[in-house]
Structure 1
Amino acid sequence: MTMQLHTLTAAALILATLGAAPGRAQPVPSPQQWQQQSAITVIGEAQKSVPPDIAQVEAGVSNMAKTARAAAEANNNAMGKVLLELRNAGIDAKDIQTSRLSIQPQYASNRSGPSEITGYLASNLVTVHARDIARVAGLVDTLVVAGANEIRGISFRVANSSKVLDDVRTEAIADARRKAEIYARAAGVTLGAPLVISEDASPGVAPMRKMATSFDAGAPVAAGQETLSVTVMVSWAIKAP
């Protein structure tokens, strides 16, 4: 996040006092009023890149047939073989989840009249969670050999992102303090305690990257790194002079 919001409300308070109606003495703010009304507000940012430890592979089987029932039966048989091979490869049942199941009519293009149904396409897609990144390439091979003719993509994520984000939050607050101290020194004031700390509504991991949408057996897979980031807005009190 590149937006910078830096305000010295103490200056606004002084200007408001000087710009009041002439000839009328204005009360000098008490130390308590300075403490409540004067603040330096800054943005603090931090991020950390870590290797992912979970991969998600979306794959499945599609079958065409003249009737919906025939397409469904062929699809059920083909998907059954894929699921069996996944379990034989050591993938737990809890790590396999159906993500799409459909049967759709297929039409022939007919410009002179109504489109005609030529058959039915049955599709069954599952999302497979691989908790060992080193096994992803082998998992793709298993899917292809078992008969999967659709591999939609691979995405990666960090399983224990909360712990990493907590460390990044600490660094973001430190970044905010560093910036606030720079402004305080430049303005000739002393930084007090933080009054408000607000975190960006969507901290976390950068969107999971997806690989290409089609693979051959033996396709290389590169997991790369995931970047976790936090942005905070902190208002620091200015100590009374």
Structure 2
Amino acid sequence: MKTLSRALVLGGVMMASGLMTTTAMAQSQPNGGAPLTIQAVTERPSLNLSAYGEVKAAPDMATISFGVVTEAATAAEAMQQNATRMTQVMAALRRAGINERDVQTSGLNLSAQYDYVQNEPPKLRGYQANNRVTVIINDLDRVGTTADAVVAAGVNQIDGISFGLKDPSAAENEARRLAVRNLQAKAALYSDALGTPLGSIRSLSEGGGYAPQPPMPMYAARAMSMDAGASTPVAAGELTIRIDITGVYDLNR
């Protein structure tokens, strides 16, 4: 009986194995037809290139950041002195023709000031109030005179000046056209060098664009000039607008 049982078990395993093999063959040969032929798909050769377009433009606006810093024995006194001088500065800006919407408070700080002597604990000297303002000037002819006006009114720190464009879209679009022309020329050059006809463009992506200049140091406070009637000279120069693009072109066989 044991011998018969073992024979039955072994036979069952062999039948199962045969069934699994047959099933696998049936899957590889559906309906008993010819075996399926799988061909590897070869991607069309392509060129992945980058180029840029760059234009120069004269700025038509400026941004100045400045501040009023005051020190006093008490915090209240430092803030009061600062408020008085900043009120005078705001009035000077209005007289200079600056619109209220173009004036923004960018920082307000009050801090204790200490004197430090070696081997001695810090000694409180007083308090410092710092009120900072950012101003947009839409008439570049007024940049120097506006800076002088706020210094005369009480500003004793000027962080910097930057120039920009009110509407950079025209300059950006021209830079885009130049970038595409340069990309097309580069693709044609590669195609000719490879001796392979250039196909259509598969994709195009853009980077870069207009970005306002970071503020450049101007001066801490205007020194007395020999010519009292002269205003601070300011040169706007030119801005560079650059557009970077990347394109993928097909190469025809």
Which TM-score band (shorter chain)? 0.7 to 0.9
Aligned-residue identity in percent: 31
Aligned partners of 2:247 and 2:50: how far apart in 1? 6
Q: In the alignment, what sits opposite 1:56?
A: 63
SS of the aligned residue for 1:204 comes to coil
Calculate the TM-score normalised by the size of structure 2.
Answer: 0.77
Distance 1:151 1:166, change over 3 A: same
Aligned length: 209
Aligned pair 1:44/2:51, yes or no? yes
Bigger mean CA deviation after superposition, 108-117 or 136-145: 108-117
Bigger mean CA deviation after superposition, 217-226 or 61-70: 217-226
Give 1:151 shift. 1.3
On the 8 A contact 1:156/1:210 being kept in 2, the answer is no
Say which of 83, 96, 104 aligns to 1:89: 96
Q: In the alignment, what sits opposite 2:140?
A: 133
Give 1:104 shift. 0.9
Distance 1:207 1:91, change over 3 A: closer
On the 8 A contact 2:172/2:242 being kept in 1, the answer is yes
Q: In the alignment, what sits opposite 2:13?
A: none
2:110 partner letter: I
Aligned partners of 2:150 and 2:56: how far apart in 1? 30
Calculate the TM-score normalised by the size of structure 1.
Answer: 0.81
Q: In the alignment, what sits opposite 1:104?
A: 111
CA distances 1:70-91 after superposition (whole Å, capped 9, x unpaired): 0000000000000011112211
On the 8 A contact 2:49/2:248 being kept in 1, the answer is yes
Aligned pair 1:214/2:220, yes or no? yes
Unmatched segments (≥5 aa) in structure 1: 1-26
1:188 partner letter: G
Give 1:145 shift. 1.5
On the 8 A contact 2:110/2:130 being kept in 1, the answer is yes
2:218 partner letter: A
CA distances 1:189-236 after superposition (whole Å, capped 9, x unpaired): 111211011222x43247445143334272211111110001111111
SS of the aligned residue for 2:65 comes to strand
Aligned partners of 1:141 and 1:220: how far apart in 2? 10
Give 1:181 shift. 0.2
Aligned partners of 1:106 and 1:28: how far apart in 2? 76
- Which protein has the larger Cα radius of gyration, Structure 1 or Structure 2? 2
SS of the aligned residue for 1:52 comes to coil
Runs of 4+ in 1 over 4 A off after TM superposition: none
Give 1:28 shift. 9.9
On the 8 A contact 1:53/1:159 being kept in 2, the answer is yes
On the 8 A contact 1:161/1:205 being kept in 2, the answer is no
Q: In the alignment, what sits opposite 2:200?
A: 193
CA distances 1:159-211 after superposition (whole Å, capped 9, x unpaired): 211231122112101101100000101111111211011222x4324744514
Aligned partners of 1:74 and 1:212: how far apart in 2? 25
CA RMSD of aligned residues (A): 2.0
Distance 1:161 1:208, change over 3 A: farther
